[in-house]
Amino acid sequence: MQSVSRRTFLRAGAALSGGIISAGMPLSQVIWAAEGKVLEVRSSGDLVTLDPAFLGQAAEVDLTNCIYSKLTRYKPGTEWGWELEAADKIEQVDPTHIRFRLKKGIKFSGDYGELTAKDVKFSFERVIKLNSPIKPQWGSLNHVEVEDDYSGVIVFNAPFAAVWLVPLPYAVGQIVSEAAVRKATKDGGNFGVKPPAFSGPYVLADWKPNQYALLTRNPDWSGPKPGFDEIRILPIPDAKAAERAYQAGDVDFTVVGLDSLAAFKSNPPANTEIAERASTRYTWIGMNMDHPKLKDINVRRAIQWAINVPQVLDTAYDGQSIAATGIIPPGIVGHRAKTLVPPEGDLSKAKELLEKAGVNGLTLSLDCTNDSQTSAIAQTVQAQLSQVGISLVVNARDPGTFWSLGVESEGDSWKDVQLFIMTFSGLPDPYDYVTWFVQDQVGIWNWQRFRSQRFDELNAKGLSINDPNERAKVYEDMQDLMEDSGAFRFLTNETNPILYRKTRMKAAMRPDGTPLYIDFQPA
Amino acid sequence: MWIYLLKRVFLAVAITVIAVTLVFMMIHAVPGDPAVALLGPRATPEMIAHLHREMGLDKPLAVQIVIFFEGLLQGNLGFDVLSQRPVADIIFEQLPYTIELIFVSILWAVAIAVPLGCYSAMRRNSVIDQIVAIMAVATIAIPSFVMAVYALLIFAVTLHWLPAVGAGQGFLDGLVHLILPAFAVGIGWVGYISRLVRASMMEILGENHVRMARSFGISEWRIVLHYALPLAILPTVTILGVGIAWLLSSAVFIEVVFARPGIGALIVQAVNTRNYAVVIGAVLVTTVVTVLATTASDLIAASLDPRTREKL
C-alpha cells in the first residue's frame, strides 16, 4: 500500500479547503503548490525518444538539455553564440580537426563513473554508425580520437564550419555514458525513452506519456546549481489549448500562436512578460520548375510579382509577422537585407510577364497542409493571383499526405505538384537552411526541382569558410540564385511569441525563443 | 443464455477482425508515407528504406495483415519502432484516461437525466417539463467540443476555479482535472437520456399493470421507482452500450481541447504521423471496448427484463 506523504496530505487538505475557490486560485495550482521551487512549462509535444542520437523534436531537445551534458551549449540571449559546458577548452586545430578537453568531475548517475573522452567518442560516432535520421547534423564527421581520459580530437572529412552552432551545442552533441548505453541496449543502439544514465543537472524522475515529464535535481551533479528544484513539463500540442492553460495558471511559460499575439499585447494576462523572438522557421511558396505549366520563367516570375507578401501576412498572422528577405532568418549569418522582388509585388509587372509568356486563363494548383494558418495563406494567394487572371485550386492536405507529395520515391505525385506552401525549420547556421535545395535534393526535399551548379558550389564553399562576413556573402548569393529562378516566393520567417510569468521566473532563451531551462531562475 | 453468450463472443471476434482489416486497408490507401512523416525532412532515402523494413512496410499488405493477426494471437499488438516501445504499452497507458472520462461522463449524465426524465413524465407539460425539454434539445444540439471550449473559458480562464489542461496526478488532482472534460462530454447525454426516459416512462405509466397498482392506492413515487422505472430504463441501458462508441469519438475532441492523455489524442497523433502500428493497435482496442460495452448493455437489459431473457 502506498504511504501518504506530507505532500499528498497537503494537497488533499488544500484541495478540500473551501477557501480555495473564493481565493481565485486554480485547484490544480493549489494541489501542485508543493514545497521547493517548481517550474511549470508547456512543451509542444510529448516525448518519442530521449536518445540524443535520434532526437527530432524541439520538445525532446529542451528536456534532454537538462539531463545530458554537451561540450558546449547555446548562450542565452538575443544573439546566437555558444559557451563551454562539459568542455574546459575547445579549439579548432585546423579546418578538419577540433581539439577538446573535458572538465573533471562530471559524473554519470547510477555509478557509471566520470564523463570521459571515450564517452564523447561513443556518443558522437554512434549517430553515424546507427544511421540516425539526424546524422546530417554532424556533417562530414569521420571519427573522434581519444588522447587521454579528458582530451580528444573531433575529426571531419572536410571543413564543416557549421560545427560550432549546429552539432556541438545542439541535441546531437549530447553525451551519453558508453557503459550505461551498452548495458541497456547490448549493441549501443537506440535506448528510446529510458535514459540509462544522466549527466546533466537534472534527472527524469517521472514521465507519464501525454501528461507530464518531471525533472528533479541530479544529486550527482557537480556543476552550477540550476534555479529550480523541479521542472514539470506538460505536453500541449495545440497552441490554443496552451494559451488557455497559461491563462488558467496551469503553466507559467509557453509559446503562443502568432495569430493570438495582438490580443495578448492589447490585454496581457497578469504578471506576464511577452517576448518576441525571431524564429528559425522559413515559409515560402515553391513552384515546380519541371511542371509544363511552370516551365516558362516568365510565368514563375509573374507569380512572384503577383503575390503581395505583407497582405498575406496580415491575413494569416494578424499582421504580427514580417516579410522574409530569404530563407535565412534575421540574426543568422547570411540573412539578406532585402529581396530581389519587393514584398508588395506589382500586379502590372506580373501581367506584363504573363503577356510575355503568352499565357492566358491559366489554372494552377496549390498544395498545402490543412492547418488554419497555411490555409489562410493559400486563400489569400488564391485571391491575389486571380487579379492577374490565374485561377488557383487549393488542395489542403493532412501533414502525412502533404509531406510525401514531392518525394519521387513515394510515387508520381511529384509530377503533378505545381505550387506549394512549405515551412521548414532550421538550426542556427546558414548551411542548415540552404542545403535542401542542391541538385542532389531534387525529388527529395527540393520540390521546386531547382538546379544550379553555381548554387551547389557555393553550398560546399560556405562550409569551408570561417570568416562570418565572407560566409554571409556566399549565402546571400545563394538566396539570390534561388529567387532569380522564379521558383521561390519567400513569405516569412515568423516570430516566436512567448508568454511567461515574471513573478515566477527569470526566463532564459536562445535567440529564437527556445527555452534553456537550466538557466531559468526564480523571480 | 450460454448459447446467446457464445453467439455474442463469435460476433465480437468477427466484428473486431473485420474492423481491423478495414482500417489496415484504409490507412494504407491514404496517400503519405509513414517513414517520411516519422523521419521528417532530414531523412535520406536510405533511412526511409531502413524504416520501411523495420516497420514491415516492405512486405505486401496481405502479409502485413497476417503477421499482425499472428502476433495478436500471441498477445502482441506490435512494436512502435520510433519510440522503441511495444504498442500495447503505449495504448494501455492511455486507455484508462479515456475509460475514466467516459465512465464519469455517463455516470453524472445518468444520475441527473434519469430523475429529470421521471419528473418530466410525471408532470408532463408543466413549466419544469417544458424547461427540461428546451434544455435537452439545446444540450443535444451543441457539440461537445463547443461546450468544452466555453466551459474552459468560463471555469478555467475567467474564474480560475478549475484547471484547463492535463489529467492531474493522484486521485484528487485527477478528479479535479476530470470535472470540465466530463461535463463537456456528458452534458449532451443529460438531454438525450432525459428525453428517452421521459418517453418510455410515459408509455409505461399508461399501461394496465400501472393502472392496477394505482387502483390499489400505491403512491405515485413508489409506482414510478418500483414498477415503471425498471422497465422505462431499458432503452437507456441499450443506448448507453452503443453510446460508448459515440463517447469514444467525443473523447477525441475533448482530449485535444483539454490536452488530456487518452486513446483519442493518441489516435489523432498516430494518424497524422502515419504511425501504422499504433493506429491499428488503438483501433483494435477501441473496437473491443465498443463490442464489450454493447454486449454488457444487452446482458444488463436481459437481467432487468425477464421478457428479453426469454428471447435469448
State ipTM.
0.76
Nearest to A50 by CA among B84, B271, B265: B84
Q: How many CA atoms lie within 13 A of A81 on its CB side?
A: 7
User: Which helix (H) or strand (E) element contains residue B250?
Assistant: helix B234-257
CA distance B246 to B105: 12
Least Cα separation, residue B60 to chain A (angstroms): 16
The mean pLDDT value of chain B amounts to: 86
Cα-Cα-Cα-Cα torsion B61, B287, B169, A272, nearest 10 degrees, comes to 70
Contacts made by residues A376-382, CB under 8 angstroms, sequence distance 24+: A376/A315, A376/A316, A377/A283, A377/A312, A377/A315, A377/A316, A377/A421, A377/A491, A378/A421, A379/A315, A380/A311, A380/A312, A380/A315, A380/A316, A381/A285, A381/A307, A381/A312, A381/A419
Q: What is the DSSP string of B153-189?
A: IIIIIIS--S--SS--SHHHHHHHHHHHHHHHHHHHH
CA distance A301 to A321: 24
B58 CB neighbour count, 10 Å cutoff:
12
Which residues make Cβ contacts (< 8 Å) with residue B274, sequence separation at least 6? A400, B27, B30, B32, B33, B34, B37, B38
Contact assessment for residue A260 and residue A276, using Cβ atoms and an 8 Å cutoff: no
CA distance B210 to B87: 54
Spell out where A61-166 has E strands: 69-70, 72-74, 82-84, 87-94, 97-102, 141-146, 151-156
Task: From residue A366, give the alpha-carbon distance in Å to each of A372, A374, A375, B154.
Answer: 15, 11, 10, 40
CB-CB under 8 Å, A32 with B31: no
What pLDDT is stored for residue B42 in this prediction? 62
Partner residue facing A31 (CB), from B37, B176, B261:
B176
CB-CB under 8 Å, B42 with A134: yes
B164 touches chain A (CB under 8 A): yes
pLDDT tens profile B235-268: 888 888 878 877 887 788 899 889 999 998 898 8
User: Which helix (H) or strand (E) element contains residue A274?
Assistant: strand A272-278
Nearest to A95 by CA among A18, A162, A9: A162
Rg over alpha carbons for chain A, rounded to the nearest Å, is 25
Nearest to A407 by CA among A365, A364, A436, A370: A436
Which residues make Cβ contacts (< 8 Å) with residue A19, sequence separation at least 6? none
Closest-CA residue in chain A for B170? A8
Closest-CA residue in chain B for A269? B157
Task: From residue A157, give the alpha-carbon distance in Å to each of A60, A124, B276.
Answer: 29, 15, 38
Which residues make Cβ contacts (< 8 Å) with residue B42, sequence separation at least 6? A56, A133, A134, A136, A137
Contacts made by residues A504-509, CB under 8 angstroms, sequence distance 24+: A504/A39, A504/A252, A504/A271, A505/A39, A505/A227, A505/A228, A505/A252, A505/A253, A506/A227, A507/A253, A507/A273, A507/A275, A508/A76, A509/A76, A509/A275, A509/A277
Q: For A87, phi and psi rounded to 5 degrees?
A: -85, 140
Which residues make Cβ contacts (< 8 Å) with residue A519, sequence separation at least 6? A76, A226, A227, A508
B31 touches chain A (CB under 8 A): yes
Q: For B179, phi and psi rounded to 5 degrees?
A: -60, -55
Closest-CA residue in chain A for B51? A133
Query: What nine digits make up the cell of B60?
Result: 505486401
CB-CB under 8 Å, B177 with A403: no
What pLDDT is stored for residue A36 in this prediction? 62
Q: Which of residues 89-108 of B touch A (CB under 8 A)?
A: 90, 93-94
Partner residue facing B163 (CB), from A26, A131, A424:
A26
Full pLDDT tens readout for chain A, 523 residues: 344 443 444 454 444 444 444 444 444 454 444 446 899 999 998 888 999 998 878 889 999 999 999 999 999 999 999 999 999 999 999 999 999 999 999 999 998 999 999 999 999 999 999 888 788 889 999 999 999 999 999 999 999 999 999 999 999 999 999 999 999 998 888 898 999 999 999 999 999 988 999 999 999 999 999 999 999 999 998 888 999 999 999 999 999 988 899 999 999 999 999 999 999 999 999 999 999 999 999 999 999 999 999 999 999 988 889 999 999 999 999 999 999 999 999 999 999 999 999 998 999 999 999 888 899 999 999 999 999 999 999 999 888 788 889 988 778 999 999 999 999 988 999 999 999 999 999 988 899 999 999 999 999 999 999 899 999 999 999 999 999 999 999 999 999 999 999 999 999 999 999 999 999 999 8
Q: How many CA atoms lie within 13 A of B113 on its CB side?
A: 31
Closest-CA residue in chain A for B175? A28
CB-CB under 8 Å, A399 with B85: no
Partner residue facing A193 (CB), from B48, B85, B176:
B85
CB-CB under 8 Å, B32 with A401: yes
pTM recorded for the entire structure: 0.82
- For residue A133, list chain B residues with Cβ-Cβ distance below 8 A: 39-40, 42-43, 47
Cell match 542548415: residue? A432
pLDDT band at B89 (very low <50, low <70, confident <90, very high): very high
Indicate the burial class of A138 (C-beta count within 10 angstroms; 0-12, 13-18, 19 or more).
buried
Q: What is the DSSP letter of B228?
A: I
User: Which helix (H) or strand (E) element contains residue B53?
Assistant: helix B45-55
What pLDDT is stored for residue B238 in this prediction? 83
Cell match 486497408: residue? B25
CA distance B286 to A4: 35
CB-CB under 8 Å, B259 with A238: yes
Which of B95, B172, B256, B279 should be substituted to probe chain A, the one whose Cβ sees the most A Cβ atoms within 10 Å? B172
Partner residue facing A250 (CB), from B34, B37, B164:
B164
- For residue A253, list chain B residues with Cβ-Cβ distance below 8 A: none
CA distance A473 to A454: 14
CB-CB under 8 Å, B47 with A410: no
A/B interface, count of CB pairs below 8 Å: 177
Q: What is the DSSP string of A339-384?
A: -SS-TT--HHHHHHHHHHHT--S-EEEEEEE-SHHHHHHHHHHHHH
B181 touches chain A (CB under 8 A): no
Q: What is the DSSP letter of B223?
A: I
- 3-class state of residue A142 by DSSP: strand
CB-CB under 8 Å, A133 with B43: yes
pLDDT band at B183 (very low <50, low <70, confident <90, very high): very high
